[in-house]
Structure 1
Amino acid sequence: MKKLIVLALSLTLLIASQAMARDLRFSSGLAQSEFRDLSKQAGAAISYKNTAPAEPLGILGFDAGVELEAMDINSGSSYWNKAFGNDAPSFLLLPKLRVRKGLPFSIDVGAMYSYVPDSNIKLWGVEVSKAILDGTMATPAWGIRATYSQLAGVNDLSLKTAGIDTSISKGILFLTPYVGAGAVWIQSKAEGHLQQLSNLSNETIYQPRFFAGLKISPLPLFAITAEAEYQVRPIYSLKAALNF
C-alpha cells in the first residue's frame, strides 16, 4: 500500500510539472498597479507553507517528503498573461522537496526546495518553529513559526517573503487536524527585461494568511498531509513524507 501511495503521488508530481512547464518571462511591461497585484499573488505562491501540525517532532524526530502546491490564480488578468507570455495557467503548480528536523526545547527547523522542470521557476525557503505547548493525550499542541522564502531562476523578477504564524493541533488516533493564522511580508523588485519595459518601483507588501490541514498517518513512519490556505487567493498543498 505504501509503495502504491508513493507511486501515485510521484505520478501526480510528474503530471503537474509537465502542466506547468513554462517560463516566467514577461512579454510586455506592467503598470505599477499590475505589478503590485502580481507581487501579492506571486508572493503568496512562493511563501513557505505550513503542512504540519503544531506538535514538535522531538529531539530524534525527522520528516522528509515531497509536496505539491496548487494556487488558484487570476489567470484572466493582464499581469499573469504578460508574466507567462500570454499563456497563463489557471493554477500555479509547484512540486517541492521538504525536510524538517526536531531539536531540543521543542524546536523544529526545516527547509524547502522547488523546481518546475522545463521552466525557469525555482524557489527555496527555510523555517524554524517552537512549540509553546507540546500537546498531550488530553490537550492540544500550540506552536509559533517563522519562515523565509525566495524565488530563483527568474531574471525579470526578484521576490522574497518572510512570515510568522501560529497554529494549534490535536491528534485523534491516526488523524491530526490543525488550524492556524499569520502574516507574510513580501519584497518584490522588477529586474532585467521587465524593468527596462516598465521602470517599476519596488513593492513591499503585508498580507494575512489563514490555513487548516489534516495529517493522516495510515502506516508507521509514513504520513500524508493535506492543507488549504487563503492568502489573497486559495492555495492547496498535499505532502507525503516519511517521519519518525
Structure 2
Amino acid sequence: MKLQQICILAAAALGAPAFADDLENVQTLTQAEFARLSKDFTAAASYKGVTPAEPLGVVGFDLGVGLSSTKMAHGAIWEKAGGGGSSVYMTKVHIHKGLPFNVDVGASLAMVPGSDIKLGGAEIKYAFIEGGAAVPAVAVRAAATRLFGVDQLDLNTRSVELLVSKGFLNVTPYAGVGKVWGTLTPDFAGLTKEKPNSGKIFAGVNFSLGFGNLAAEFDSTGGNKSVSVKLGFRL
C-alpha cells in the first residue's frame, strides 16, 4: 500500500460520521441473523496488531494511535441490530514492549466513535526466527479481545497467527495467516450463544519516518475485510 493511500484512508476515517453503533436492537434478530452478526462482529473486534514479526528487543517499544475500518459482510443485519451503517470504524491506542528471548507483549484499547462500544485487547508474540540482513523474521502471536459498554451482548475473541517480515532500509513489509474464534452471548432470553470461527490472512507495511513510524495493514477474516493504520513511535 502506497503512502498516499495510507494518508487518504486516515483522513477518511477521521472524517467518518460518528455512527450510533450501540447495538440496542439485538433482541429483534432471529437466531440465524444473530449467527451472521456474530461472525461479522468477531471479525471486526478481533485483535489487529499492525506490527511486523521482528522482535522489539529488551529496550524496544512501540506506542501508537490508530484507526481501523471493517466492512460487515451482512450489513443489513448489523443495521437491524442497531449498528449505524455497514462499516465499523474504530479508534485505537496500541502499546507493545519487547522482553528477553525475542518475546513481545502488547495491549490495545479501541472504541467506536459516537457509541458505547469499547474493546480491550492483549497479545503475546514470540519470534522463533529473529531475522537479520539476509533472513526474514518469523513469529507466532496469540491474542484476545473483550467487549465493554454494550448491555445486550458479551463478546470475546481469541486468535493465533503466524507472521513473517523482512526489513529493507526504512520499510518493513509483513504478512501472516491465522485463526480467529469468537464467543457472543446475548443478555436476554430468545437467542442463544454463538461461537463462530474463521480463517484469517493479513498483510501490512511499517515505515520508519525518523521521528516515528507509520504502519498500515489489510486483514481478511472470514468474509470481512478490514484496513488499519497506525501512527506512533517504534524503537
Same fold (TM over 0.5): yes
Structure 2 matches for 1:135-214, cutoff 5 A? 135-191=131-187, 195-196=188-189, 199-214=190-205
Deviation at 1:54, TM superposition (A): 0.3
Answer yes or no: is 1:51 the counterpart of 2:70.
Answer: no
The change in CA–CA distance for 1:28 and 1:188 in structure 2 (over 3 A counts) is closer
Letter of the 2:18 counterpart? A
Separation in structure 1 between the aligned mates of residue 133 and residue 81 of structure 2, nearest angstrom: 49
Separation in structure 2 between the aligned mates of residue 190 and residue 25 of structure 1, nearest angstrom: 11
Structure 2 matches for 1:195-234, cutoff 5 A? 195-196=188-189, 199-220=190-211, 222-232=212-222, 233-234=224-225
Q: 2:126 aligns with which of 102, 108, 130?
A: 130
Residue 87 of structure 2 corresponds to 91
The answer to whether the 8 A contact 1:74-1:80 is kept is no
Moved more, 27-36 or 205-214: 27-36
Separation in structure 1 between the aligned mates of residue 206 and residue 141 of structure 2, nearest angstrom: 18
- The SS at the match of 2:227 is strand
Residue-by-residue CA offset, 1:34-93 (whole Å, 9 max, x unaligned) = 11110001011010012111000000001111011100114642x212212xx6313100
Deviation at 1:235, TM superposition (A): 0.7
The answer to whether the 8 A contact 1:125-1:149 is kept is yes
Deviation at 1:105, TM superposition (A): 0.5
Unmatched runs of 5 consecutive residues or more in structure 2: 1-6
The answer to whether the 8 A contact 1:24-1:119 is kept is no
What is the root-mean-square deviation of aligned Cα atoms in Å? 2.0
Unmatched runs of 5 consecutive residues or more in structure 1: 1-6
The change in CA–CA distance for 1:74 and 1:185 in structure 2 (over 3 A counts) is closer
Moved more, 231-240 or 66-75: 66-75
- The SS at the match of 1:203 is coil
Letter of the 2:91 counterpart? P
Answer yes or no: is 1:70 the counterpart of 2:74.
Answer: no
Percentage of pairs with the same residue? 39
Deviation at 1:114, TM superposition (A): 1.2
Letter of the 2:126 counterpart? K
Residue 240 of structure 1 corresponds to 231
Aligned length: 228
Q: 2:117 aligns with which of 100, 115, 121?
A: 121
Answer yes or no: is 1:81 the counterpart of 2:71.
Answer: no
Deviation at 1:117, TM superposition (A): 3.8
The answer to whether the 8 A contact 2:28-2:81 is kept is no
